[in-house]
Amino acid sequence: DRTFIRRLKAPKAGIAPGWFNWGLEYFPYTFQRLPRSAKNRLLRGRASYGPAGAHWLYDRIIGKVSLHELQRVQEIKEVDGGATLTLSNNDVVLKADHVFLGTGYRADIKKLPMLHPSLLSEIQTYAGAPVLNNRFETNITGLYFVGFSTVLSCGPLFRFVVGTDAAARRVGGAVARQAASVK
């Protein structure tokens, strides 16, 4: 259990302990008001939230599972019910019964097949992600995005489950106001 001093230095928050994370959670719309340069600085630094496993995973993985980080799979072949992989450094060929690939993710709405190309061409984007207002709405009235694709506009909180409540309140309120104005 965390001591009082530890809790004071880094209060509990849904993303992870810490004042910055606590601020994201309890003031979820503040990030949206920042200028682009400040958003970019935060997303490259303190709010980058790169790939990380839960603390309880380390003892189960490190030294027990072979990891090949920052590699690309150049070739994969099925061999005797398993797989043979050639990695991007070309001098490593792996033979395995099972392969798990952590491929990462970069927001790019142009790769969403459910959006028609004519609609995609109208949506304003920044680095592949939709540019959103404080209601998670694009420049196309009535078109909203939630989840990972909102991080560049709305902040890192919204890539996590803990951000869904704040996103739902904003989008739900906007849709309700829009529906009321149509009546």
pTM of the model: 0.72
pLDDT of 71-100, one tens digit each? 888 888 888 888 899 888 767 788 888 777
Q: Can you give the pLDDT at residue 21?
A: 92
pLDDT of 129-148, one tens digit each? 999 999 999 999 999 999 99
pLDDT of 18-68, one tens digit each? 999 999 999 999 999 999 999 999 998 877 776 666 677 778 888 988 788
Compute the distance between CA of residue 130 and CA of residue 108 in angstroms, rounded to an integer.
Answer: 8
Residue 8: pLDDT over 70: yes
3-state helix, strand, coil in the chain (%, to 5): 40, 15, 50
